[in-house]
Structure 1
Amino acid sequence: MLSRRGLMAAAGLWPLAQQLQLRAARAQPASAQAVPLRVGLLPFGTVSWEAAVITAEGLDRAEGFSLEGVRLAGSDAARIAFQGGQVDTIVSDLLWAARLRAEGRAVKFLPYSSTEGALMVPGDSALRSVADLAGKRIGVAGGALDKNWLLLRARAREKDGLDLEREARPAFGAPPLLMQKLEAGELDAALLYWTFCARLEARGFRRLIGADGIAEAFGVTGPIALLGYVFDEALLARAPEAVAGLARASSRAKRALAAGEAAWAPVRPLMAAEDEATFATLRRAFLEGIPRRNAAAERADAERLYAVLARLGGERLVGRAASLPEGLYWDGGPNG
């Protein structure tokens, strides 16, 4: 077992003085009733974008809580920090949240974004369909159990009779490396996370198929937010209004970003966009992922996709949860 100090160090939280306190440009004075919520933020994650808008506009104080951003080194560090109680919430994967709940940790999931990755190819590539991938070099971010890779393999097998694992040449690696290899012509295609796809699109690359297109092959009828805020039911019991306030502030921040240029001012420095084209593609992809479906439709499609992933990835991917656990989605009420 890690010591408390070891756990904090692994999560990127030591020393605590390095926590990112998002306090600048408050639109409203602090309220004595504001409940602090510690939100995990990754260096280049879009949650930092949303948090910047929430704090710049004073949306947290307006909604009865105080957003305390905690800088974390990466996704693994964020999960360690959440499980160790060093942050109240992080944005993470629906599969991970489902696995936690199935294993006995009473967590809730609040949809954050439906923007997903895609299979990218050069703009002048001769590849036009999944069936064309036979014999091609395919970069895959996230490893052999990446959900989009599993779904792409299943789609290729069922729709095109193509076994990508055997009949193509997959190469697994970190997204930045795969992106470089695709640009250098060392890969024919690359299955990447959406921020990398957006940067490639700005440079003339195109999508062969997106995650949404892959999911449609399994009966999914609309976009699914596979990323969401994850928090414990204990937080909901302790501070239900703060959780509801975070949900409202998140929605208001997204609406502000969709409304026009002004709200992007505090976000632009966080995006590491090299040029206007990259900024525009990142902005468009982020806005396309804003959840707009009702909870019942969202969950129904999520259950369809989860069942496919559980069948393909087995316990190594989803743990003991063969289906989405009951009570996983937060319904907006004080009791979950």
Structure 2
Amino acid sequence: MPYSKAVGTLMIPADSSLRSLGDLLGKRIGVAGGPLDKSWLLLRAHAQKELGIDLAKEAEPVFGAPPLLNEELARGRIDAVLTYWHYAARLEAGGAKPLLTVADMIRRLGIDHDVPMLGYAFREQWARNESVALQGFVAASREAKALLATSQEEWARLAPQIGTDEPAVLATLQAGFRAGTPEHWTPAERQAAADLYAILVRVGGDKLVGRAKVFDAKTFWPSVAY
């Protein structure tokens, strides 16, 4: 079942001269995770569609952990960083700016509906046996997201777990969380997920999906919809 449609953002320094996808050619791009990170694969797919090039060859990807890459961007050792949304939020609160979000990439790849990129997984047999508990969990998850979307007090209460009590950082994190909350989960969004999977298969190949070349419709539990 869906959790969030927020994944990542391509961030650049406040004084960067980068303005478009084409400006990334020849640049050092920090990538949180590894070569099979889905945000990186989608950026490569976007560049292939728009420019006819493979950024893995036409730019210099630098793979690493998000905190390290944030520091590398601050020190000017990389030109941009493709990182997870909550690390991007911290960068933005510190003055960096977004060049392109993963949501932008998905739309420009021709997918018009929101696609949850993170989700909850559970055993099929458990869901069949505990349908009431499952629906209760779905409702509780949506209520919690609605609360976090609107309440600054809840974010202040969570500050010790987040690791900062800076109002600017908390506000940016809240905005990013709110933007990532799925509003709908219907057959249209399920089809969009299948379409996106096909793109990832094309770019990531066997190393990403192995023999699972076709999206399995059973991935999503049928009774969860809103």
Q: Does 1:165 align with 2:65?
A: no
Q: Percent identity between the aligned chains?
A: 45
Secondary structure at the counterpart of residue 147 of structure 2: helix
- 2:159 matched residue in structure 1: 268
Gaps in structure 2 of 5+ consecutive residues: none
1:60-209 to 2 correspondences below 5 Å: 110-209=1-100
CA distance in 1, matches of 2:84, 2:208: 18
| CA shift in 2, pair 1:181/1:262, >3 Å | closer
163, 181, 188: which one pairs with 1:290? 181
Distance 2:159 2:223 in 1: 31
Flag the structure with more relative contact order, 1 or 2, with Cα contacts below 8 A and sequence separation at least 6.
2
Instruction: Name the structure where helix makes up a greater proportion of residues.
Output: 2
CA contact (8 A) 1:218 1:304 kept: no
TM-score (norm 2): 0.93
Instruction: Find the residue that maps to 1:195 and give its secondary structure.
Output: helix
Find the aligned partners of 2:136 and 2:54 in 1 and give their Cα distance. 47
Q: Partners in 2 of 1:114 and 1:326 — Cα distance?
A: 19
Please give the TM-score of this superposition, normalised by the length of structure 1: 0.64
Q: Does residue 121 of structure 2 align to residue 230 of structure 1?
A: yes
SS at match of 1:230: coil
Unmatched 5+ residue regions in structure 1?
A: 1-109
Match of 2:216 in 1: 325
Secondary structure in 1 matching 2:121: strand
* Count of residue pairs brought into register by the alignment: 224
Aligned mates of 2:178, 2:20 — CA distance in 1: 26
SS, match of residue 231 in structure 1: coil
Letter paired with 2:30: G
> What is the CA–CA distance in structure 2 between the aligned matches of 1:145 and 1:275, rounded to whole Å?
33
